[in-house]
Amino acid sequence: MGMFAHRAIETVDEAQRRAKKLLPHDVYTALEAGSDGGATMKENLRAFEEIGMIPRIGAAIPTRLDLSATFMGQPIDLPVVIAPAAAQAMHPDAEIGVARAAQRAGTAIGLSNFASVAIEEVTRENSKSFAHVYWSGGRDVVADRIERFRQAGVKGLIFTLDLSGGRVAYQPRDWGSPVYPDRLNFAALLRYAPMAIGNPSWFLRYAKRRVIPGLNAPNMSRRGGPVPTLVGGLYEWMDTAIPTWEDVAWLRELWGGPFMVKGLVAADDARRAVDAGATAVGVSNHGGNNLDTTPSPLRFLPSVVRAVGDQVEVTLDSGVRRGTDVLKALALGASSVMIGRPWFYGLAADGERGVYEVLETFRGTIERALVGLGKSSIRDVTVDDLVIPNGFILDPAPESARASRAVAQEK
């Protein structure tokens, strides 16, 4: 093995360290930071650490462990799915590399509405591609995009509601919010030149391929229409009224296929999603990028599963970093998990190969955890394998909340 042999990424933390070293400060900060003070982002990680696991010894473990699962009706070989997020300025492989890596790992990809490559390119690379939708532009515009996604051959829609439009969508951060250029004119090049100078490895990736970081949002365009810039797409979204449950039901009926409502934590919202026709719900707080100080979705997961888990698939994201995290979520009732920042770290560290290696770190750590638990399948892991602190699980049902307030008022 030569002195310049590739060193594989073995953990998500390692991918994060490489990403921080390679990326310009502004790009890395935009990736890593949560909204406001970042309390929710930190809580997402801490919640997984609060649950313990009980090792078992002496169990007969087969050579081949069963990690197969389903995501919105699609069989997957790994219960870890690529969450929709826009790969702006991470690596020239962009979402095409992410789609290929997920296909190779045997899992699915959700492609962001604000992705830097078109949905048609992604569905050619990954047979289990899902289109992510924001409520942007009103019903006529959304309907046109949905028909485009249908023609592209996506397997289902992921409709995110926890970070919806309106001017309130903008999320200030205590450490500074990212500023996206509308286009790379002379002024923008002059402003961002220090990024290239200070991060030559990142810049050379693009220079060698004679491309620039994606600044367009091709999946925000209407069929046959011009491709908006990322900033233009963001403004359209922010200028659109926040969707209601009636809009959710309308979109579900229009689509007619597998349909996830993503971005909820409360059981009553999960029931409303099912009433509106959802076939899956995504328990999520947007990775800490919405309402700061929101508790981890992991704390709400059991109450959502109790409410709707016998009717629809339940998936979880926000704070998943290793195989033990995945198994904890599955034991609490999720059918799969989605990851956002981990695949970003892998993409930033080494493009398509980095994303694949991050996915394989999850496979490896899930397998090691299964052996430690004395299990041969992810379906064998239950709450009996966990140590859950008192008060960890939250169930913010309106009825119980009203009753608690009434008792408090009486006192």
Mean predicted confidence (pLDDT) in 325-337: 98
Domain covering 12-404 in this structure, CATH number: 3.20.20.70
Q: Average model confidence (pLDDT) for the chain?
A: 89
pLDDT for residue 183 = 60
The residue ranges of every structural domain in the chain are: 12-404
Provide the pLDDT confidence category of residue 171 given band limits of 50, 70 and 90: low
Mean predicted confidence (pLDDT) in 87-100: 92
Provide the pLDDT confidence category of residue 411 given band limits of 50, 70 and 90: very low
Q: What is the pLDDT of residues 236-278, one digit of tens each?
A: 988 898 999 999 999 999 999 999 999 999 999 999 999 999 9
Q: What is the pLDDT of residues 101-124, one digit of tens each?
A: 999 999 999 999 999 999 999 999
Provide the pLDDT confidence category of residue 408 given band limits of 50, 70 and 90: very low
- Which residues partner with 132 through β-bridges? 158
Evaluate if residue 181 carries a pLDDT over 80.
Answer: no
Q: What is the pLDDT of residues 120-164, one digit of tens each?
A: 999 999 999 999 999 999 999 999 999 999 999 999 999 999 876
- Three-state secondary structure of the chain: CCCCCCCCCCCHHHHHHHHHHHCCHHHHHHHHCCCECCHHHHHHHHHHHHCEECCCCCCCCCCCCECCEEECCEEECCCEEECCCCCCCCCCCHHHHHHHHHHHHCCCEEECCCCCCCHHHHHHHCCCEEEEECCCCCHHHHHHHHHHHHHHCCCCEEEECCCCCCHHHCCCECCCCCCCCCCCCHHHHHHHHHHHHHCHHHHHHHHHHCCCCCCECHHHCCCCCCCCEHHHHHHHHHCCCCCCHHHHHHHHHHHCCCEEEEEECCHHHHHHHHHCCCCEEEECCHHHCCCCCCCCHHHHHHHHHHHHCCCCEEEECCCCCCHHHHHHHHHCCCCEEEECHHHHHHHHHHHHHHHHHHHHHHHHHHHHHHHHHCCCEHHHCCHHHEECCCCCCCCCCHHHHHHHHHHHHHC
Residue 132 annotated in active site: no
Evaluate if residue 180 carries a pLDDT over 90.
Answer: no
Provide the pLDDT confidence category of residue 191 given band limits of 50, 70 and 90: low
Which pTM was predicted? 0.91
Evaluate if residue 235 carries a pLDDT over 90.
Answer: no
Evaluate if residue 204 carries a pLDDT over 70.
Answer: yes
Q: What is the pLDDT of residues 37-70, one digit of tens each?
A: 889 999 999 999 999 999 999 999 988 999 999 9
pLDDT for residue 266 = 96
Mean predicted confidence (pLDDT) in 360-383: 98
Evaluate if residue 170 carries a pLDDT over 50.
Answer: yes
pLDDT for residue 397 = 66
User: Over pLDDT 90: what percentage of the chain?
Assistant: 69
Provide the pLDDT confidence category of residue 212 given band limits of 50, 70 and 90: confident
